[in-house]
Amino acid sequence: MTEFRQTEARKAQLAKRYRAEYRFKAFGIGAICTAGLILLFLMGSILISSLPAFTQHYVTLDIEITERHIDTQNLANSDWRGLARTSLRAQFPEVQGRRDKRALGKLLSIGASDDVRDYVLANPSSLGTKIRLPVTLSDDIDLLLKGVIDRELPENERVVSNQNLAWLDKLVAEDRISRQFATKIFTNGDSREPELAGLHGALVGTLWTLLVTLLASFPLGVMAAIYLEEIAPKNRLTRIIEVNINNLAAVPSIVFGLLGLAVFINFFGMPRSAPLVGGLVLALMTLPRIIIPTRAAFAAIPPSIREAAMGVGASRLQVIMHHVLPLAMPGILTGTIIGLAQAAGETAPLLMIGMMAFIVDVPSDVTAKATVLPAQIYMWANNPERAFMARTSAGIVVLLSLLLLVNATAIYFRKRFEKRW
């Protein structure tokens, strides 16, 4: 036997090996920290840039609701815009000349007229009286007040002119400027004006689309899974179907968009931009994502349950319907919810079938032109106005909150009903 001695060379070698060990571990910790920091940075930067979009500045005006602007026969037809601008001008009697008057009017959002109209329509008794009403300011003024646009910049580098600044300062001094929660982001449809653009249409469009997706993919997916897991003989054909389903789950989503364009729209002549087509495309994409966890849920049911049911004379279908399916339901629902959440975040296939139309109205049914939340985010991200950056981030925050809620539901289901056999 050779003597085991701690020579200097051995010691050095051992130290080297331990250094390698620490290095390796440090790499691992580094990797995890990097991933965590990225997640934090991503979420943080989006959250911070979304904050301005959730509030909106208003200017409180004294509005005289007079015959001059109001059409008493047909209220909706009145000159609300003129009314709002006149009221603002009343604050600045010194402003004369067409150009300056128009520039002054630009402080207000186009939506200011809607604020006045909505108030008067809701309070008909205000006709002929003088009211105090906060109305929406334009996006640039709003950003300046929030400090997103730096007022210290030289005039030619900032979108708000010195003249505007002076007017604004006067309004601030008169305590006419207020900041409120921007409800419009949830109640309005899309708009070219950032301060008026809202997610209502996209939210409803997402809802319609997902409804179609759910109705199409859930029954088909569950039936397919029942057939493959419980009924089909294990032969070549079912093997091919299985491989096929696994491959389908990995096909790029944009290819499903091409399929939808070629088959649903061009071949069957279904309407473009409609939740019906979008929902069907997403359903085909979601199908394998429902079949795979559903099969896993079936496979987790112990065979003794099936034997017991068969032992008292239940037919194969009765065994499935009375025992296997109800027991597998929590797993199936979890899989379906996660699949739907993925579908809800999908954009690319929907671009192919035109679900990114500029739609102000809220879609009324599954064949109306519509857009969905992710596509709305994509469109807003392409808009040049600076205020749309915050709007886009806010859209993302809403989308992520929705997905978080949906996934939390799935996790709750799994935890609540999970059965260990």
Partner 1 sequence: MSEKTDPKIKIEARGVEVFYGEAQALHGIDLDVNANQVTALIGPSGCGKSTFLRCINRMNDVIDGCRVNGNIAIDGQDIYSAEIDVVELRARVGMVFQKPNPFPKSIYDNVAYGPRIHGLSQSREQLDHIVESSLKRAGLWAEVSDRLLASGTSLSGGQQQRLCIARAIAVSPDVVLMDEPCSALDPIATAVIEELMEELRKDYTIVIVTHSMQQAARISQRTAYFHLGNVVEHGATQQIFTNPQNQQTEAYISGKIG
Partner 2 sequence: MSASSLFLCLVGLGLFSFFFGRRRIHRLATGASQKQHSRDVYHASFLVICATFVPIVLLVIWTGISPLVIDALLESFLKARANTASLGELSVMIAKTKAYYAGSISAAFIDDTIAEATNYYADLVAHSLQARSFAVLLLAIAGVGLGVRKIALRFTARHSVERVAQLIMLVASAIAVLTTVGIVLSLIFETIRFFATVSVTEFLFGLHWSPQIAIREDQAGGSGSFGAIPLFAGTLMITFIAMIVAVPIGLMSAIYLSEYASPRLRGIAKPGIEMLAGIPTVVYGFFAALVVAPFLRDGGADIGLTLSSESALAAGLVMGIMIIPFISSLSDDVINAVPQTLRDGAAALGATHSETIKQVVLPAALPGIVSAILLAISRAIGETMIVVMAAGVAANLTANPFESVTTVTVQIVMLLVGDQEFDSAKTLAAFALGLVLFFITLALNILALYVVNKYREQYD
Residues 294-323 that bind partner 1 (CB under 8 A): 302, 304-316, 318, 322-323
* Window 206 to 235, contacts with partner 1 (CB under 8 A): 233-234
Task: Tell me, residue by residue from 168 to 207, as one string, x for binding to partner 2 by CB under 8 A and - for no binding.
Answer: ----------------------------------------
* Window 353 to 392, contacts with partner 2 (CB under 8 A): 354, 356, 374-375, 377-378, 381, 389, 392
- Residue 381 interface partner, choices partner 2, partner 1, none, CB cut-off 5-8 Å depending on type: partner 2
One residue of 5, 17, 236, 416 binding partner 2 per CB under 8 A: 17
173: Cα separation from own chain's centroid: 39
Total site size for partner 2, rule CB under 8 A: 86
307 vs 361, beta carbon nearer partner 1: 307
At residue 329, what is the residue type?
Answer: M
Q: Residue with structure tokens 């950032």?
A: 194
* Window 325 to 344, contacts with partner 1 (CB under 8 A): 327
Q: What residues contact residue 322 under an 8 Å CB cut-off, 6+ apart?
A: 309, 314
Cβ 294 to partner 2 shortest distance, Å? 11
At residue 85, what is the residue type?
Answer: R
Is there a contact between 282 and 343 (Cβ–Cβ < 8 Å)?
Answer: yes
d(CA 202, CA 290): 25
Q: Confirm or reject binding of residue 120 to partner 2 (CB under 8 A).
A: no
Cβ 183 to partner 2 shortest distance, Å? 24
d(CA 319, CA 309): 6
Task: Tell me, residue by residue from 216 to 245, as one string, x for binding to partner 2 by CB under 8 A and - for no binding.
Answer: ---xxx-xxxxxx--xx-------xx-xxx
d(CA 78, CA 118): 12
Cβ 302 to partner 2 shortest distance, Å? 22
Q: Confirm or reject binding of residue 29 to partner 2 (CB under 8 A).
A: yes
Q: Confirm or reject binding of residue 32 to partner 2 (CB under 8 A).
A: yes
4 vs 421, beta carbon nearer partner 2: 4
Q: Confirm or reject binding of residue 412 to partner 2 (CB under 8 A).
A: no
Cβ 418 to partner 1 shortest distance, Å? 13
Residues that bind partner 1 (CB under 8 A): 233-234, 302, 304-316, 318, 322-323, 327, 419
